[in-house]
Each structure stands twice: as C-alpha cells, then as structure tokens.
C-alpha cells in the first residue's frame, strides 16, 4: 500500500474519532435539556416555562460535562427564589453531579444555610455523602456552623454516620473541640427519645 494512501486512511480515522467524541456535546446543544439548563443559568423564566410545558422531564436535565442539574445552578448562586421555583416543579433534589455532590451537599460546602433548609423541606436527603464519605453534618462541624447543624439535625441527619476515614460528625466535634455541636447532638438524641416514647431504667 502506497505511503500516501496510508496517510489518507489514518487522517480519515482521526476525523471519524473526532466526530464520535464531539457527538454527545453537539447533541446536547440541540436538546431541550441543554436549552433548559442554559435558560436557568441565564435566569430566563419565559424560556424555562416554555420548555417545561413542552417536556416536563427537562426539569431534571443533567449537563453532559459535569452532571450538574438546574438545582445545582440555583444553589451555586445562592438563589433561593429559583431554588423554590424549581422544587415546586418537582425537580429531584437528590440527583448528584459526576463528583457525587448533591445540591444539598453543595449548599453545605458553600455555607448556604437557607438553601439547606429549602432543599431539606422538599425531600433532600440530609445524609448523602460526597466521594470522601463526608456528610453535610460533618461539613457543618468542620465549619463550626451551628445554625446549619441544627437544620440538618432537624431534617434527621445522623451524627454517628462515618466518612471514609471512619470518623463521624460526633467524632470530629470531639477532636476539634466544637462543644456546642456536641450539645446539639445530645439535645437531638433526647428529643428523638421523647418522641419515640422510649424510657430507660426499671419501670413499675
């Protein structure tokens, strides 16, 4: 086979590979999901409404590059108005991005307490961990953020759930000397005990 012909074949193969690689991105550029995510990013409410009316499933569209959803976008910019709006449209608050970060975890990383409260009130799971096994409650302890910690506990967060190192929020509170966090954990435990009607010690 002539050298020139082999070069042409090699170039054709490279071009075909490039087209296949670009296909998902190109497809997203023309999809309703991509348009929806763009509209949320721009705060274009009219386009969002039109796309939802056309196809309600776009509410949970995920970006092909990093997996973020519209809720991630609203959380990242600390936009409580858009966060509430998307949740009223039944956006799933528990969809993670490609790094395993849910909107509530993102809100915890940002210290966005109002966002945590909004997401938790709409069914966001408060104990979903990131890739390191850290729960939002563990992050709250690291940040020494008691208001955030209280909201998470009220939402049912478990202070004994451990990360990948085997340490829990309670463990970190002891290690880092966050005494107020320990007090909140004890209050939460007592409150749960009272609600469940459990008693300790002998009964007559």
Confidence of residue 24 (pLDDT cuts 50, 70, 90): very low
Round to whole Å and give the CA distance between 64 and 42: 18
DSSP class of 201: S
| Average pLDDT of span 161-180 | 96
What pLDDT does 4 receive?
Answer: 56
What pLDDT does 19 receive?
Answer: 46
| Residue tagged 């302890």 (tokens) | 141
pLDDT > 90: percent of the chain = 75
Please, are residues 60 and 93 in contact by the beta-carbon 8 Å criterion? Answer: no
Q: Mind listing the domains of the chain with CATH numbers? A: 29-125 (1.25.40.20), 126-195 (1.25.40.20)
What pLDDT does 203 receive?
Answer: 42
124: alpha, beta or left, given left = phi > 0 and alpha = psi -120 to 50? beta
Say what the pTM is: 0.77
What pLDDT does 28 receive?
Answer: 46
Round to whole Å and give the CA distance between 9 and 83: 52
What are the tokens at 69?
């959803």
The 10s digit of each residue's pLDDT in 123-156 is: 999 999 988 899 999 999 999 999 999 999 999 9
What pLDDT does 22 receive?
Answer: 43
The 10s digit of each residue's pLDDT in 56-113 is: 999 999 999 999 999 999 999 999 999 999 999 999 999 999 988 999 999 999 999 9
């Amino acid at each position: 086979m002539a050298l020139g012909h082999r070069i042409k074949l090699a170039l054709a193969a490279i071009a075909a590979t490039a087209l296949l690689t670009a296909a998902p991105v190109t497809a997203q550029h023309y999809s309703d999901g991509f348009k929806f995510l763009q509209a949320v990013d721009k705060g274009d409410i009219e386009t969002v409404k039109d796309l939802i009316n056309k196809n309600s499933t776009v509410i949970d569209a995920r970006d092909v590059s990093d997996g973020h959803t519209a809720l991630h976008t609203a959380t990242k910019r600390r936009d409580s108005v858009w966060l509430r709006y998307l949740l009223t449209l039944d956006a799933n608050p528990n969809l993670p991005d490609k790094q395993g970060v849910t909107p509530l975890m993102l809100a915890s990383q940002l210290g966005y307490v109002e966002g945590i409260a909004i997401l938790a009130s709409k069914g966001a799971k408060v104990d979903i961990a990131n890739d390191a096994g850290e729960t939002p409650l563990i992050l709250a302890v690291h940040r020494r953020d008691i208001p955030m910690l209280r909201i998470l506990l009220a939402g049912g967060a478990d202070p004994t759930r451990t990360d990948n190192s085997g340490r829990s929020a309670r463990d970190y509170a002891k290690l880092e000397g966050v005494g107020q966090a320990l007090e909140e954990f004890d209050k939460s435990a007592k409150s749960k005990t009272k609600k469940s009607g459990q008693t300790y010690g002998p009964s007559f």
